[in-house]
Amino acid sequence: MKISKNRYHGDLPKIGIRPTIDGRRNGVRESLEQTTMNLAKSVVKFLSKNLRHYNGELVEFVIADTCIGGVAEAAQVAEKFSREGVGVSITVTPCWCYGSETMDMTPTIPKAVWGFNGTERPGAVYLAAVLAAHNQKGIPAFGIYGEDVQDVGDTTIPHDVQEKLLQFSKAGLAVAMMKGKSYLSMGSVSMGIAGSMINESFFQDYLGMRNEYIDSSEFIRRMDKEIYDKEEFERAHSWVKENCMEGPDNNVEANQRSRVEKDKDWEISLKMALISRDLMIGNPKLAEIGYGEEALGHNAIVAGFQGQRQWTDHFPNGDFMEAILNSSFDWNGIRPPYMLATENDSLNGITMLLGHLLTNTAQVFADVRTYWSPSAVERVTGYQPQGLAENGFIHLINSGAAALDGTGEQSIDGKPAMKPFWEISEEEAQKCLDATLWRPSSTGYFRGGGFSSDFLTKGNMPVTIARINLIKGLGPVIQIAEGYTVELPNEVHDILDTRTDPTWPTTWFVPNLTGSGVFKDVYSVMNSWGANHCSLSFGHIGSEIITLASMLRIPVNMHNVSEDKIFRPSAWGMFGTNDPEGADYRACSNYGPLYR
C-alpha cells in the first residue's frame, strides 16, 4: 500500500463516533451499554475499510470513552474530540436517548446521526427527536435511518445505511481537510476571467480557507537566483527527455522556435513546475541552500497560475507545469496529484479540490468549449453520431493543463479509469505518458513559447463535470453534470479537433439526459453552463458533491442526479419537500456560510 507523507501543515482530520444511550440507570442503561458501543465499533470497522485520505493514509477514528447518556458525558466527548483533532462527527444509537442533552453542539463540524431501525428499542424515535433539536437550534445534521427493521443486538450495517455513512463521511472529511489551508494565487487576473478575480469572503466564509498571493516575478527571481533543488532539476530534466515525447509543431515555419529555443523552453517549464510546487507546500531543500523563508511555502492545498497574458507573452506558458503537477506521477514517481488551476481560475480550482477530496483522484481542468449537434457533426464530417454520442456531445478542451490521468490509460476491471495514486501501477503511469504528446505551443496564443499536452481521452468512462460560480446578491452556486466520455471514429475526431486546436488535450463528453429541464438535451446543458471552465472527475460523484455542497451551504443550481441519491441535512426537508432545488436555496440562505 503506497502512502505519501502529508504535505500540508496540520494533522489530517479524524472522524469522531458518539454512541448515545438512554441515561436511566438501574437496569435500562446497563442493558444497552454493550449493544450501543458495539454499534459504534461496527461503524468504525465499516468506514475504516472504505476511507483513505488524499495521501493514502487510513482515516483515524475517535470513539467516545463511554456511551453518552446526558450533557456531562456529551461535554466530555466534545473536549476529547477537540483535543484529538476530530473534524467529522457521527452519532449512533439503537435506543431512545435524551435529544438536546446528548447532541453534538459544535456548529462547524459536519454531523450525522444513525438511529437504528429496531422495534425492541426506539432508536428511530431518538433520531427524530435529536434531529428536531438540531433543526430548532440551527445546527443542521444528517439523519440516517435504515429502510428495514433489524433485531436488537444486530450490529450489521444495512446497505442503504452504508451508502449514507460513506457519502456523509467523504464529504465531511473534505470540509475538515480544507479548513485552515490556503489558495495561492500565482499572478493575478487572467484575460478578464471572473474566476481569477479572487473573492476572499467566499474562501473565508464558505471554506474556512485563507488566500495567499505572489507576483509572477517571483518565478523569475527564483530562476535567476537558482532557488530550487538543482539536483532534482537535473533528475527531472533527464526524465522529461526520456518520457515526454514532442509532437509536431503546427506553427507556420516562420513562427516556429528554434531547437535551441525549444530546449530552453523545456528548462524553464521544468523550473516553473518545481518552483510552483515549492511555493504551494514548501521544500526543506531550500533551507539547506540558505532560503529558509522560501522553504516554508504557503500551505496551499490548491493554487492558480495567471499565465496569460503578461507571462506568456514573454515566457513559456504554464501548461507543462500545470499538467504534470495535476497528474498523479512525475520524475519522483507515483504520488498524490496537486490541484493547480490554469488562468488562476480560483473557482474552478476549488471545484477541482472538491472532486479530488471526494475521490482522491486527479482532476481534469477543461474549457467547456463547443456543443456539437448530430446535424452539425454530419454536415462537417459526413458522420452520423451513434451510441452515447447520438444526441450530440460537448468538446472539453483547454490549452494543455489537464492531468495526464485524463488519458484514461489507467483501468479498473479492464475498463478505462482514473484512480487514486496508490492504485496506479508503474505500467499505467507510463501508458499515460506514452499516450501524450507535448506540442510546441501556438505562438499566436503563447508568444513566449512552451509546450502543451496533447491527448485524447478514452471513451466510456463514467465522469462528472462540475463548476462553482459566484452570483452577486446570491453568493456561490454549484452545477453538476454526470455523464460519460465518448470515442469518435479517428477521422471524425481529427476533423473536429483540427477546427479548434489539435495541439491540446480533448475529451468528448456526453451528459446523462433526464428528459426534463436543463437535462432534456445536450445543447441545454452546454447552454446553461455558468462559466467557460469545468472540472472533470472520474465516476458519477454528483450525489457526493451535493452532500458536500449542503455542508458548506452552497446551493446546487443544476444537476442530473436521481432524487433517491440526494442526501442533505434533515433541516433541508423543512424548507419544502416538493421542490428539493428550491428548498436547497432557502436552506442555504437561511443558515448562511458555514464559517460566517
Is residue 343 part of the annotated active site? The answer reads: yes
Residue 180 corresponds to which cell in the numbers above? 485552515
Residue 559's Cβ-count burial label (10 Å; 0-12, 13-18, 19+) is buried
CA distance 107 to 453: 45
CA distance 502 to 397: 10
367 a known binding residue? yes
Pairing of strands 506-511, 475-485: antiparallel
CA distance 222 to 271: 9
CA distance 28 to 35: 12
**Annotated catalytic residue within 22, 319, 345, 367:** 367
163 a known binding residue? no
319 a known binding residue? no
CA distance 480 to 529: 9
* Residue type at position 579: D
CA-closest candidate to residue 14, choices 46, 51, 39, 42: 51
CA dihedral 235, 236, 237, 238 (to 10 degrees): 60
Cα separation values, 182 from 131, 199, 587, Å: 33, 13, 27
Bond into 235 cis (ω within 30): no
Residue bearing cell 453552463: 529
Residue 320 corresponds to which cell in the numbers above? 507543462
Buried b (16+ CB within 10 A) or exposed e, 488-515: beeebbebbbeeebbbbbbbbbbbbbee
**Annotated catalytic residue within 104, 212, 343, 501:** 343
CA-closest candidate to residue 165, choices 22, 50, 21: 50
Q: Which residues contribute to the annotated binding site for Mn(2+)?
A: 343, 367, 533
Q: Which residues contribute to the annotated binding site?
A: 343, 367, 533
Residues annotated as catalytic (active site), given as ranges: 343, 367
